Structure formats: structure tokens, C-alpha cells
């Protein structure tokens, strides 16, 4: 059987694309990713990066409030039971993703919990190989596999994820655990400066830890960090260990020097990684044009077209710059509309 549209991914871009495609009678098939140890380690399990966060305060339509009754009514009982219960005072990342997934399914989206591990876009219908060994064919494909935040790879970092260690200041910065406490941002790029600046609203002090003696951030952003009295840049330092305990989570960091100085311990309540992201595009190598950083390259402004006609991309897999749930959802909508129009033009829909 040849599918009209296969969507690969399961974040806001993928589910929004599925909602629009299903309502356009494209009968979409979504590969949401496999539940595997490898994906867990990589941070690319089904439901994407939002499933790894806690409260989501900046997704429009979900102000703080007791959503428990609504969530119970919208989701299957076993799904509701699996959600973190702190979701009762506003929407959590996992709950938002379950709602989007459910909404896509309500319109008839079919979902397979496997990865697409290889594609052949040189033939049409396109051929997609799934992690269960099965092969699928599709007239159009939307790639929405997202990106994953880079981590340092320390065991202590893994231990305190969501308990003081975060890769998203905009998602987590306003949490009570960081209020009026010192925190650290790791990295020296624009994201690090942006996150550090954002965190100054809540934290008592923000240390920026950078491994060199010059920021990578653009000049204007770098000047902003240096001028902010609440930000202190610690040059030529890397994180050796994240310190903490079971009760409080993160309590500090041990910083090694890259220029031969002794290590130092710093008291912080949070560690925000801003050392870049890696798009999930390994399975696309050689099949589609990627940027030098590995993101899917858009070939036309304000369209989700890729270098392969009939293959569209949405969300963080093609967006190094904005990386927000709401922008990913918007791109998912655009990709579904682009795919629908393309299939109609070709006379296949």
C-alpha cells in the first residue's frame, strides 16, 4: 500500500501537521519514534523535547489553573494516570504533548511507535525503512524529527536532570527552585547570553561558564551580558561535576580550568546547558540537503519545501533559531498545507 502522507516525528510540529493533514482527508501515518534505551539516552523518545520538561507557561491557551478535570476528560485514563501530577496547576510538557497526540488521533491519524531509520528519496513513491524492519511507501513525507539539546555527558548531570539541571531556561527558569538563588549557564553563544539574561529576572545571580576567553555570541549580545550587573562571566572554565543531593537536587558545580588554574566549587541551585543542539537527521544523510550543522535546509522562503520535491520539513529539525513549541506547531501546520497543495497539484489528492 502506498500512503499519501507519512509524518516522521512526534513533537508539536509532527502532531500539528497530523491534525491538519487528517482534517484534509490525507489519512496520515505518523512514526512517533521507538521507546528504546538508545532514544532515552539521546533524548529523542516519542513526544519530543517537551516530554522532558515540566510546566509550560508560554504555550498560548494554557494559563495557570487546575486543568485536571479537562485532562481527565480529554485523555485516555491510562494516559492521564501516566502524567506528572504537578500538571494540575497549569499545563506540563508531557500533558501538552499527549493532548496534541490525542487531538491528531481523534481525526483519524494512525500512529506507529517505531523510528524511521533510513529513507530512499531517489525513487517515488518514497521508501521509508522502520526500526521493526518493515518498509513503507509514501507519496509525500513531512520530516518533523526535532533536535535534541546537547549535554556534557557527565553522570551527575544525568542524575539531576529536571532537578536543577535543564537545557531550556525559557521553559524552566521561572520555577520556584531557582527564584532568588544563584544559577549557572554553560556556554558562550547567543543562546547562553539569551538564557543568562532571561534568568536574571528570577535568579539572584547568574554565572556564565565559558570554556574560552572570548564569547561566541554576537557582539551586541555579548555586550549585553557584560553590561548586566547580575551576570558574571567565568572565563576558561568547564564543568567537572554537578554537585547536589537527593533532597535538594543541584546545590553547586565544580569547575575545572582550561588554563591550568585549580578547580573551584560554586554554590548554585541550577545549571542551564546552552551548548547547542543536534538535529535528528542522521537517517537523512545523502538523501536530502542539510545545512553544515545538519539541519534540513529549506529551499524557499516561507515554505516548508526541502531539496526533494514532495518532502517537507517542520519544527526544530529545520529551525536552529527559534526552537519554540509554538513555532514548531506553526511550521507543522504549514508543512501539512504545503503537502496537501502539492498532492492536489499532482492530482494525487
Q: List binders of ligand NAP among 111-140 (CB under 6 A).
A: none
**3-state percent helix, strand, coil for the chain, nearest multiple of 5:** 30, 25, 40
Please choose, out of 88-96, 175-183, 211-219, 249-257, the segment that lies near ligand NAP by the rule CB under 6 A.
Answer: 211-219
Residue 218: C-alpha distances to residues 181, 213, 222 (Å): 28, 15, 6
C-alpha cell recorded at residue 164:
536543577
Among residues 275 and 334, whose Cβ is nearest to ligand NAP?
A: 275
152 touching ligand NAP, by CB under 6 A: yes
Q: List binders of ligand NAP among 232-261 (CB under 6 A).
A: 238
154 touching ligand NAP, by CB under 6 A: no
Q: Is 316 a catalytic residue?
A: no
C-alpha cell recorded at residue 220:
551586541
The single residue among 211, 224, 230, 297 that binds ligand NAP, judged by CB under 6 A, is 211
Q: Is 168 a catalytic residue?
A: yes
In terms of Cα–Cα distance, which of 176, 106, 116, 172 is closest to 144?
116
In terms of Cα–Cα distance, which of 175, 195, 171 is closest to 184?
195
Q: List binders of ligand NAP among 155-194 (CB under 6 A).
A: 186-192, 194
Among residues 130 and 170, whose Cβ is nearest to ligand NAP?
A: 170
* Beta strand residue intervals within 154-292, DSSP E: 165-166, 182-186, 205-209, 231-234, 237-245, 249-257, 264-267, 270-273, 277-279
Q: Is 333 a catalytic residue?
A: no
Strands 270-273 and 165-166: parallel
**Nearest approach, Cβ of 194 to ligand NAP (angstroms)?**
4
321 touching ligand NAP, by CB under 6 A: yes
- What are the contacts of 279-282 at 24+ separation with CB within 8 A? 279/145, 279/146, 279/147, 279/316, 279/317, 279/318, 279/320, 280/44, 280/145, 280/146, 280/147, 280/148, 280/317, 281/143, 281/145, 281/317
105 touching ligand NAP, by CB under 6 A: no
Please choose, out of 27-35, 124-132, 251-259, 273-281, the segment that lies near ligand NAP by the rule CB under 6 A.
Answer: 273-281
The single residue among 320, 326, 330, 337 that binds ligand NAP, judged by CB under 6 A, is 320
Among residues 4 and 277, whose Cβ is nearest to ligand NAP?
A: 277
Among residues 182 and 187, whose Cβ is nearest to ligand NAP?
A: 187
Give the active site residues. 168, 171-172
Which residues of the shown chain bind ligand NAP in the complex (CB under 6 A)?
152, 186-192, 194, 211-212, 216, 238, 274-276, 320-321
Amino acid at each position: 500500500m502506498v500512503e499519501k502522507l507519512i509524518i516522521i516525528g512526534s513533537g508539536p510540529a509532527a502532531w500539528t501537521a497530523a491534525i491538519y493533514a487528517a482534517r484534509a482527508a490525507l489519512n496520515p501515518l505518523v512514526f512517533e519514534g521507538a521507546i528504546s534505551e538508545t532514544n532515552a539516552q539521546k533524548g529523542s523518545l516519542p513526544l519530543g523535547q517537551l516530554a522532558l520538561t515540566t510546566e509550560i507557561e508560554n504555550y498560548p491557551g494554557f494559563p495557570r489553573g487546575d486543568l485536571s478535570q479537562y485532562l481527565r476528560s480529554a485523555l485516555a485514563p491510562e494516559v492521564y494516570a501516566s502524567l506528572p501530577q504537578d500538571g494540575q496547576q497549569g499545563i506540563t510538557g508531557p500533558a501538552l504533548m499527549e493532548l496534541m497526540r490525542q487531538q491528531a488521533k481523534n481525526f483519524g491519524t494512525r500512529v506507529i511507535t517505531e523510528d524511521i531509520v533510513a529513507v530512499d528519496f531517489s525513487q517515488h513513491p518514497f521508501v521509508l525503512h522502520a526500526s521493526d524492519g518493515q518498509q513503507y511507501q509514501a507519496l509525500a513525507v513531512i520530516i518533523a524529527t526535532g533536535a535534541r539539546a546537547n549535554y556534557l555527558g557527565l553522570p551527575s548531570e544525568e542524575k539531576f536532570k529536571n532537578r536543577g539541571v535543564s537545557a531550556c531556561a525559557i521553559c524552566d527558569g521561572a520555577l520556584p527552585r531557582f527564584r532568588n538563588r544563584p544559577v549557572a549557564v554553560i556556554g558562550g553563544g547567543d543562546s547562553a547570553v539569551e538564557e543568562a539574561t532571561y534568568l536574571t529576572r528570577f535568579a539572584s545571580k547568574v554565572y556564565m561558564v565559558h570554556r574560552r576567553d572570548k564569547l561566541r555570541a554576537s557582539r551586541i549580545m555579548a555586550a549585553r551580558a557584560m553590561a548586566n550587573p547580575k551576570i558574571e562571566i567565568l572565563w576558561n572554565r568547564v564543568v567537572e561535576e554537578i554537585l547536589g543531593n537527593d533532597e535538594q537536587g543541584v546545590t553547586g558545580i565544580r569547575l575545572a580550568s582550561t588554563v591550568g588554574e585549580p578547580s573551584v566549587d560554586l554554590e548554585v541551585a541550577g545549571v542551564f546547558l546552552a551548548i547547542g543542539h543536534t538535529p535528528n537527521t542522521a537517517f537523512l544523510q545523502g538523501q536530502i540537503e542539510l545545512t553544515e550543522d545538519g539541519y534540513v535546509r529549506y529551499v524557499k522562503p516561507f515554505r516548508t519545501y526541502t531539496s526533494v520535491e514532495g518532502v517537507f520539513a517542520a519544527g526544530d529539525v529545520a529551525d536552529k533559531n527559534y526552537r519554540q513549541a509554538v513555532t514548531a506547531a506553526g511550521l507543522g501546520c504549514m508543512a501539512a498545507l504545503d503537502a496537501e497543495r502539492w498532492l492536489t497539484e499532482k492530482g494525487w489528492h
